[in-house]
């Protein structure tokens, strides 16, 4: 298997073979997760610590379930109540945890680059569960698996629109990288205030009109308006934003008739997406994304654990 990585910090470090290896293994876990007995021993004996310095519902639950189904001992650190609040630095917290010998550390942090920094300080596998506006690799991988399954196994040469608050979105960044590496055509659609110029360097097409941008696309990926990351007037009003950029049936009609609708959650219904479109089981794959999330995280932790064990065996032989 081709996946020679010690950590999963971003899509940036992965090549198309790594991505395919991970998605193929995730398929095995999709099947396992649909059985009555959802258990494997891929992580038996290993300790997984989840450190979420930012609120999360689905990502944290998904990583927790993924670790438990693979037999790991999983601990969720309550970061709100931790020593961080007492002034301890990220690195001190990490070193303290490191002394407890975890094998997998799942980290979400509000600062871009914080997870990379942490990975340099610990001797276990680190998974980035979202760092600031930088990357959210498991989200892009679960999105890729959802697309590949919905498009009959294909993840190449698709027209994919990523719409909305691109500027503040680590989901958009990781998806642009992944879908680009797999040779898809990417269109970014959003108001210029939420779609800064550097994005044009990613080899994507940029639109500020939904109807133009959605024309004949295979995939419509909506993003949440990240109000918590905005420090000023990026949009005139939510009403106006919905009118121009919210996905409703009229705008979706510009996409291909079999185009799928995606959203990473949590959704602002009536702001970036119409509730009826989100719930339309013929178009929306939002629930599938959640299902694929558990399988993709199982695959990522399984691959990293194999590498971790191999490194430890080598080190043991050398000693």
Binding residues for L-aspartate: 86, 170, 224
Q: Which is nearer to ligand NCD, 93 or 138 (CB)?
A: 138
Q: Are 202 and 162 in contact (CB under 8 A)?
A: no
Nearest to 132 by CA among 213, 45, 226, 195: 226
Alpha-carbon distance of 280 to 253, in angstroms, equals 14
For residues 207-222, b (16+ Cβ closer than 10 Å) or e, as one string?
Answer: bbebeebbeebbbbbb
Residue 94 in contact with ligand NCD, rule: CB under 6 A: no
d(CA 65, CA 297): 9
Helix (H) or strand (E) segment spanning residue 159: strand 159-163
Residue of the chain from 14, 264, 302, 303 that contacts ligand NCD (CB under 6 A): 264
Say if strands 159-163 and 104-109 run parallel, antiparallel, or are unpaired.
unpaired
Taking the least distance from each CB to ligand NCD, the nearer of 46 and 118 is 118
Instruction: Give min distance, CB of 130 to ligand NCD, in A.
Output: 5
Identify which of residues 173 and 187 has a Cβ nearer to ligand NCD in the complex. 173
For residues 42 and 178, which CB has a smaller minimum distance to ligand NCD in the complex? 178
When the beta carbons of 206 and 267 are compared against ligand NCD, the nearer one is 267
**Residue count, binding to ligand NCD (CB under 6 A):** 11
> In the complex, which residue's CB is closest to ligand NCD?
224
The CA distance from 244 to 281, in Å, is 24
Minimum Å distance from CB 8 to ligand NCD? 14
Q: How far is the CB of 265 from ligand NCD (least distance, A)?
A: 5
Starting at the earlier edge strand, list the strands of the sheet with 159-163: 205-207, 185-189, 159-163, 219-222, 260-262
CB closer to ligand NCD, 166 vs 186: 166
User: Does 67 contact ligand NCD by CB under 6 A?
Assistant: no
Cα–Cα distance measured from residue 107 to residue 187, given in angstroms and rounded to the nearest whole number: 30
Please pick, from the candidates 7, 109, 148, 224, the single residue that binds ligand NCD as defined by CB under 6 A.
Answer: 224
Closest C-alpha to 91, from 123, 124, 60, 114: 114
Position 139 contacts ligand NCD (CB under 6 A):
yes
Does 136 bind ligand NCD (CB under 6 A)? Our answer is: yes
Judged by CB under 6 A, does residue 130 bind ligand NCD? yes
Q: What does the binding site for ligand NCD look like in residue numbers (CB under 6 A)? A: 58-59, 130, 136, 139, 170-171, 224, 226, 264-265
């Amino acid at each position: 298997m081709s996946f020679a990585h010690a950590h999963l910090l971003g899509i940036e470090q992965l090549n198309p073979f790594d991505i395919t290896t991970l998605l193929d293994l995730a398929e095995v876990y999709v099947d396992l997760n649909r059985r009555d007995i959802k258990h494997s021993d891929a992580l038996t004996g290993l300790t997984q610590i989840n450190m979420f310095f930012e609120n999360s519902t689905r990502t944290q639950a998904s990583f927790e379930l993924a670790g438990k189904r693979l037999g790991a001992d999983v601990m969720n650190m309550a970061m709100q109540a931790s020593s961080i609040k007492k002034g301890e630095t990220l690195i001190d917290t990490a070193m303290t945890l490191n002394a407890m010998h975890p094998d997998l550390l799942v980290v979400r942090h509000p600062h871009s680059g914080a997870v990379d920094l942490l990975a340099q300080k610990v001797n276990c596998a680190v998974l980035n569960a979202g760092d600031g506006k930088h990357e959210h690799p498991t989200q892009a991988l679960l999105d890729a698996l959802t697309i590949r399954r919905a498009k009959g196994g294909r993840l190449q040469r698709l027209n994919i629109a990523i719409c909305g608050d691109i500027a503040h979105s680590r989901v958009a960044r990781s998806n642009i990288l992944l879908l680009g590496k797999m040779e898809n055509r990417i269109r970014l659609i959003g108001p210029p205030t939420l779609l800064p110029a550097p994005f044009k360097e990613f080899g994507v097409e940029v639109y500020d009109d939904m109807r133009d941008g959605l024309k004949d696309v295979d995939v419509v990926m909506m993003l949440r308006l990240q109000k918590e990351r905005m420090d000023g007037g990026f949009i005139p009003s939510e009403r106006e934003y919905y009118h121009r950029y919210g996905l409703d049936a009229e705008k979706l009609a510009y996409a291909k008739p079999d185009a799928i609708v995606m959203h990473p959650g949590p959704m602002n219904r009536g702001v970036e997406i119409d509730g009826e479109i989100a719930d339309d089981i013929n178009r929306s794959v939002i629930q599938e994304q959640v299902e694929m999330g558990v399988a993709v995280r199982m695959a990522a932790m399984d691959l990293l654990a194999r590498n971790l064990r191999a490194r430890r065996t080598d080190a043991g032989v050398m000693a």
